[in-house]
Amino acid sequence: MTLIKSISGIRGTIGGSVGDNLTPVDAVKFAAAYGQWLKAEYPDGPYKVVVGRDARPSGAMIQSLVMQTMVGHGIDVIDLGLSTTPTVEMAVPMESAQGGIILTASHNPKEWNALKLLNHKGEFLDAKTGASILRIAQTESFEFSAVDDLGLITPNDTYIDKHIEAILALPLVNALAIKSKKFKVVVDAVNSTGGIAVPRLLKALGVEVIELHCTPNGQFPHNPEPLKEHLGDLMEAVVAHKAHLGFVVDPDVDRLAVVDETGAMFGEEYTLVAVADYVLSKTPGDTVSNLSSSRALSDVTQKRGGRYQASAVGEVNVVSMMKETAAVIGGEGNGGIIYPELHYGRDSLVGIALFLSHLAHIDMTVSALKASYPFYAMSKNKVALTQDLDVDGLMNTIAQTYQATESVNTVDGVKIDFEDSWVHLRKSNTEPIIRIYTEAKSQQNADDLALRFVNELKQLAGI
């Protein structure tokens, strides 16, 4: 089993031994470190933190431990209960809180959970801050509050509605146009909190909703990562119900993928492409995605007269570059939409509203919309890591092998740009693996390129 400590938080499997898994002791220890950092950052107080969770089975236990640790620090807690990652992000500044904690392991299976940490803006912590919290956790230099200074927990279940209201108020969200199209949409929420939020948003937009796996009990009916191989039920349901399209979100609702009216994948990479195309058509500007995202966003951005730039992988890195470049839209190719007009965080709910607004304006089917964009095929693979593997050495060897003949970027792992394709190799921040992403102008070429580098890595590693 696994416990991964990184600058973005702590993630692991439930049960097992302290320090090797996400046990109650580990959850309290890391929450205590975050509370200690927050009190040092804001020495004058009073202190307030927003806490919410997805629906996985361990969520209630971990949330109780985290909230009571905050109470012990003298920090008041706004308890959102079952919520979404973007909802918690928006609630932090709305509450004038100093921070937030989201309890979710995102796309990982139900045996995983995690503490994701936010700053006072409702944005993920930067690398420097995350590293300082890890140091506090390691030294266990905690100072808790006296009995008369303990924090209070205040439940508040209104923020999903507030989140939806803020989306409906966006100038580019055209609820009247969406309603006039009488869209029928199938929603797969993998039995997590998207089952609460997504149907509520769609009904507010005047959309007929067919709910699939929308009971928030944390019993994921399939692998919760929104990839084609996991979405057979949704594809079949879209065709069976003669729906216009299907939406699927991950357990914490920050990744969005689309299925077209024929039951085919629109492609999670193209979620951002389509939304960006719509936003750029109304508000010209620049875009940002990460190094592992499709070239199609760059193509669309240039067509609309803007400039595209790529950041290191990770939401905090994308957000940082978006701010530096004043990008009007950005995100990650895993279906993560970041729309600064609402907030700087990946948000499936605003992605849904903007996608449907786009669809209503152009008056074409989802499959026709996909066909209107440059075609690229992507392959996503991984190689499992062993304890003694020198990952940095492997990456350096790969970079040196290709840098004389190809364009090589080592900002985040190694990305090699070929004339009609690219490969990006990087160590995952959330799993003990090396991710291998490739893109080319045909699926066969993307798959062949991926296999080539899987074999190169294994040969170099001796596995």
In 373-448, the DSSP E strands lie at 377-384, 407-409, 414-417, 422-427, 433-440
The residues that are catalytic are 106
Give pLDDT, residue 9: 79
| Secondary structure element (H or E) that encloses residue 303, with its range | helix 296-303
pLDDT digits (tens, 9 = 90+) for 190-221: 999 999 999 999 999 999 999 999 999 999 99
pTM of the model: 0.93
**Phi then psi dihedrals of residue 162, to 5 deg:** -65, -40
- Cβ contact 141:65 at 8 Å: no
Give pLDDT, residue 429: 67
pLDDT at 341 over 90: yes
pLDDT at 1 over 60: no
- Cβ contact 325:134 at 8 Å: no
What percent of the chain is predicted at pLDDT more than 90?
86
Q: Which residue in 189, 196, 190, 31 sits closest to 110, CA to CA?
A: 190
- Cβ contact 188:213 at 8 Å: yes
**Other beta carbons within 10 Å of 94:** 15
What percent of the chain is predicted at pLDDT more than 70?
98
- Cβ contact 346:85 at 8 Å: yes
Instruction: For residues 244 and 259, give the distance between their C-alpha atoms in angstroms, rounded to a whole number.
Output: 9
pLDDT at 7 over 80: no
User: Collapsing DSSP states into helix, strand and coil, what is residue 240?
Assistant: helix
Give pLDDT, residue 337: 98
Q: What is the mean pLDDT of residues 122-138?
A: 93
Give pLDDT, residue 75: 98
pLDDT at 360 over 60: yes
Q: Which residue in 288, 316, 291, 290 sits closest to 408, CA to CA?
A: 291
Burial of 101 (0-12, 13-18, 19+ CB in 10 A): buried
The token duo for 278 is: 């719509």
Task: Measure CA of the first residue to CA of the last residue in the chain; give whole Å.
Answer: 21
Q: What is the mean pLDDT of residues 164-189?
A: 98
pLDDT digits (tens, 9 = 90+) for 32-74: 999 999 999 999 889 999 999 999 999 999 999 999 999 999 9
Of 268 and 180, the one with more pLDDT: 180
Q: Which residues contact 32 (CB under 8 A, 6 or more apart)?
A: 69, 72, 73, 137, 140, 142, 144
pLDDT digits (tens, 9 = 90+) for 228-280: 899 999 999 999 999 999 999 999 999 999 999 999 999 889 999 999 999 99
